[in-house]
């Protein structure tokens, strides 16, 4: 149902501007935030046909490698809800691997909000646990976090 209301705001009437406000019925969606390394994914599940859109692009174009695609759809495959929800995702930070894992974590958390009975199944497959491993910081005098320069005797 769409309702279009038109009215004149004070101050805009002198300039002849008309403001149109479009109100639509509220669309129900389920939200989940996923994190991995430095990547953060904000996931919305909307009842639909199973499209997965990431940052406005279909996920097949954004993630060409099959391993990353498999990680992204894993929560949907485990819960057998691949064709039930359209997934709209905004992801930022990190690299391709971290982003795909963050998306998977976010989808799993959104599925739990959609249906609480899926929680044990997702937990059993390790999809609800946030992987907290991040890159260790570089220490002074070392080449990386732990790699020391080669020792020279003379």
Q: Which CATH number do you get for residue 64?
A: 3.30.230.10
Structural domain including 72 reads 28-124
pTM of the model: 0.79
Domain count of the chain?
Answer: 1
What confidence score (pLDDT) does residue 115 get? 92
Within a domain: 6: no
pLDDT attached to residue 16: 54
- DSSP string for residues in 41-82: EEEEEEESS--EEETTEEHHHH--SHHHHHHHHHHHHHTT-T
**Residue 114 resides in a domain:** yes
pLDDT along the chain (154 residues), means of 10: 48 51 66 96 94 94 95 95 94 96 96 94 95 95 96 92
Structure token digits, residue 57 = 């692009």
Instruction: Give the pLDDT confidence score for residue 10 in this predicted structure.
Output: 56
Task: Report pLDDT for 154.
Answer: 87
Residue 10 in domain:
no
């Amino acid at each position: 149902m769409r309702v279009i209301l038109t009215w004149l705001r004070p101050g805009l009437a002198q300039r002849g501007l008309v403001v149109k406000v479009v109100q639509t019925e509220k669309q129900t969606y389920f939200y989940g935030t996923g994190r991995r390394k430095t990547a953060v994914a904000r996931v919305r599940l909307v009842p639909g046909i199973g499209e997965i859109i990431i940052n406005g692009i279909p996920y097949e174009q954004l993630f060409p490698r099959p391993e990353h695609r498999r990680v992204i759809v894993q929560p949907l495959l485990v819960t057998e809800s691949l064709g039930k929800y359209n997934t709209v995702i905004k992801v930022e930070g990190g690299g391709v691997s971290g982003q795909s894992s963050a998306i998977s974590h976010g989808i799993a958390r959104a599925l739990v909000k959609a249906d609480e009975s899926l929680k044990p199944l997702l937990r059993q497959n390790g999809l609800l646990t946030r992987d907290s491993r991040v890159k260790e910081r570089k220490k002074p005098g070392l080449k990386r976090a732990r790699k020391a320069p080669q020792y020279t005797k003379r």
